[in-house]
């Protein structure tokens, strides 16, 4: 690979949109989850420390190139200016990532792919230290991890990782209800989630836990909501981030939906589930709804003090007439509305109403399959 390029994995959390992406493993060591198509058909690989270091050196080479371009363009070595200039026409994906990272301050890095914790602790420590030494503007390093892997690490190992620079771990909890976890072939139990999560919190590494609304389908939604809240109450993570289930080709779950074994919930049913979930949360976490798949993306706040406000927003949605609820659902799925209050924006409301008339089969209701397809078009 040329020096001014490096390997980049397929995904990162939305909150890491402006982070430098460093790929320390390839793909997912578990790769069986029914609801995830990202790594299907791809083999998991550990990258060597030397290979990762070469990528970090490539980042520095690109950074130095941008600084050189800054001087030549008359920006006086201000690398942010050169980065902004190159974002519209980068020579490759690696250049784009570095330019974006520098433009937004050059302080955050995200280690890819699905479970960086699976690396030997001493090797991951070496990578973290080299990353900070080579790129000293970095003050925050985050990564994905699995609860089961975190549960197997000793507290001493996790503390070593924090001291070497690991700031936050993003964990896919998905559910705290064992039958849902088993159905989805998640490869962990609620007890694994609790042990792994508590280990991370005790180490001082910030913890962000992800929950998938709708994963319990119509048969297990209540248990999915209450048991997930129970598990999170025991972990007490810094962040609880919710996602609404999407189902696409490439997921094993797609076939389960097609053959009728998994019955999806409607938006209204998922909001009822989210209400029950929030009602049962008794922790001191930040509740974050930072994904376009969520119907009420405005449901955010610090627990417990903002719980009542979030529940009031849900009550406001549920008090709408059926016609207005459908207007809002369709407007959200078309990307027209961002917040519930935008129902009062008459021009937007009229646009959505026109779309409803075109998309409805009987001139009245837009069916759930259309709503699902619109939502999944954003993912």
Residue 1's pLDDT is what?
A: 44
Nearest one of 114, 111, 91 to 30, comparing CA atoms: 114
Residue 74's pLDDT is what?
A: 82
Q: Which strands sit side by side in the sheet containing 20-23, from one edge to the other?
A: 20-23, 108-112, 140-145, 166-174, 206-213, 239-244, 286-288, 301-302
> Could you tell me if 301 and 310 are in contact, meaning their C-beta atoms sit under 8 angstroms apart?
yes
Residue 3's pLDDT is what?
A: 56
Residue 246's pLDDT is what?
A: 96
According to DSSP, the β-strands at 301-302 and 286-288 are antiparallel
Residue 289's pLDDT is what?
A: 97
Nearest one of 229, 318, 321, 326 to 278, comparing CA atoms: 229
Contacts of 371 (CB under 8 A, 6+ apart): 266, 267, 329, 330, 333
Q: What angle do CA 65, 67, 70 make, to 5 degrees?
A: 110
Residue 365's pLDDT is what?
A: 83
Residue-level length of the chain: 379
Alpha-carbon separation of residue 296 from 229, 242, 375 (angstroms)? 19, 11, 13
Alpha-carbon separation of residue 246 from 62, 65, 78, 213, 263 (angstroms)? 37, 41, 42, 10, 13
**For every one of its 379 residues, what pLDDT tens digit does the chain have, with 9 covering 90 and above?**
445 899 999 999 999 999 999 999 999 999 999 999 999 999 999 999 999 999 999 999 999 999 888 888 887 878 888 888 889 889 999 999 999 999 999 999 999 999 999 999 999 999 999 999 999 999 999 999 999 999 999 999 999 999 999 999 999 999 999 999 999 999 999 999 999 999 999 999 999 999 999 999 999 999 999 999 999 999 999 999 999 999 999 899 999 999 999 999 999 999 999 999 999 999 999 999 999 999 999 999 999 999 999 999 999 999 999 999 999 999 999 999 999 999 999 999 999 999 999 998 776 789 889 999 998 887 6
d(CA 302, CA 282): 11
d(CA 69, CA 7): 23
Q: 3 φ, ψ to 5°?
A: -60, -35
**Class of the 14-320 domain?**
alpha beta
Collect contacts of 368-374 with beta carbons under 8 A, ≥24 apart: 368/264, 368/266, 371/266, 371/267, 371/329, 371/330, 371/333, 372/246, 372/247, 372/264, 374/330, 374/333, 374/334
> Could you tell me if 149 and 176 are in contact, meaning their C-beta atoms sit under 8 angstroms apart?
no
d(CA 370, CA 359): 8
Residue 286's pLDDT is what?
A: 98
Q: Which residue has the tokens 């699905």?
A: 114
Question: What ranges do the domains of the chain cover?
Answer: 14-320, 321-379
Residue 378's pLDDT is what?
A: 72
């Amino acid at each position: 690979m040329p020096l001014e390029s490096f390997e980049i994995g397929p995904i990162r959390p939305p909150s890491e949109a402006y982070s430098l992406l460093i790929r320390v493993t390839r793909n997912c060591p578990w790769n069986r989850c029914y609801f995830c198509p990202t790594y299907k058909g791809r083999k998991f690989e550990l990258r060597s420390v030397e290979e990762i270091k070469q990528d970090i050196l490539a980042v520095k080479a690109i950074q130095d190139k941008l600084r050189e371009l800054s001087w030549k363009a008359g920006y006086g070595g201000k690398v942010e200016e050169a980065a902004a200039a190159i974002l519209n026409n980068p020579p490759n994906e690696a250049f784009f990532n570095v330019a974006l990272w520098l433009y937004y301050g050059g302080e955050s890095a995200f280690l890819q792919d699905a479970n960086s914790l699976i690396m030997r602790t001493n090797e991951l420590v070496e990578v973290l230290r080299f990353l900070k030494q080579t790129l000293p503007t970095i003050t925050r390093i985050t990564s994905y991890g699995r609860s089961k892997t975190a549960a197997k690490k000793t507290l001493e190992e996790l503390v070593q990782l924090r001291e070497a620079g690991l700031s936050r771990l993003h964990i896919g909890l998905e559910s705290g209800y064992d039958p849902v976890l088993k159905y989805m072939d998640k490869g962990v139990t609620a007890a694994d989630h609790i042990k792994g999560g508590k280990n991370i919190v005790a180490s001082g590494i910030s913890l962000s836990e992800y929950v998938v609304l709708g994963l319990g389908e119509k048969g297990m939604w209540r248990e999915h909501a209450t048991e997930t809240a129970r598990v999170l109450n025991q972990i007490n993570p810094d962040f609880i981030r919710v996602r609404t289930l999407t189902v696409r080709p490439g997921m094993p779950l797609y076939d389960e939906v097609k053959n009728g074994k998994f019955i999806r919930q409607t938006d209204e049913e998922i909001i009822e589930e989210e209400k029950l979930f929030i009602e049962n949360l008794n922790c001191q976490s930040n509740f974050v709804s930072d994904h376009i798949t969520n119907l009420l993306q405005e449901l955010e706040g610090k627990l417990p003090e903002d719980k009542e406000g979030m529940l009031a927003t849900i009550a406001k949605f549920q008090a709408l007439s059926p016609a207005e609820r459908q207007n809002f659902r369709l407007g959200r799925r078309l990307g027209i509305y961002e917040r519930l209050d935008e129902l009062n924006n008459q021009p937007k409301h009229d646009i959505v109403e026109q779309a409803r008339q075109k998309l409805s089969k009987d001139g009245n209701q837009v069916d759930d399959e259309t709503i699902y397809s619109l939502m999944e078009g954003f993912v």
